Amino acid sequence: MSQDRATALQPGRQSETPSQKKNKNKKNKEFETSVANTVKPCLYKLKKLVGHGGLRL
């Protein structure tokens, strides 16, 4: 068994390749944008309701 194979079988965290890191960062950015685009209109509507007294807690 070569040393590379033995090393690959050892438990522990493996480092990401540059392309994996880039893809992960891209997916995180897309998710953040999606959440922001979903939440902002809801917050706007909520502020309008609270500001006009239309929402009672």
**pLDDT (tens digit, 9 = 90+) per residue, 1-57?**
555 555 555 667 678 899 999 999 999 999 999 999 999 888 888 888 877 666 555
Count, residues in the chain: 57
User: 53: number of CA atoms within 13 Å, CB side?
Assistant: 0
The reported pLDDT for the residue numbered 55 is: 58
Q: What is the DSSP letter of 53?
A: T
Average pLDDT, the chain: 79
User: pTM of the entire structure?
Assistant: 0.51
Q: What torsion, rounded to 10 degrees, do the Cα atoms 5, 11, 12, 16 define?
A: 40
Residue 46 and residue 55 in contact, taking contact as beta carbons nearer than 8 Å: yes
Domain ranges in the chain are 18-52
Rounded CA separation 26/13 (Å): 21
pLDDT given at position 27? 94
**How confident is the model at residue 51, as a pLDDT?**
77
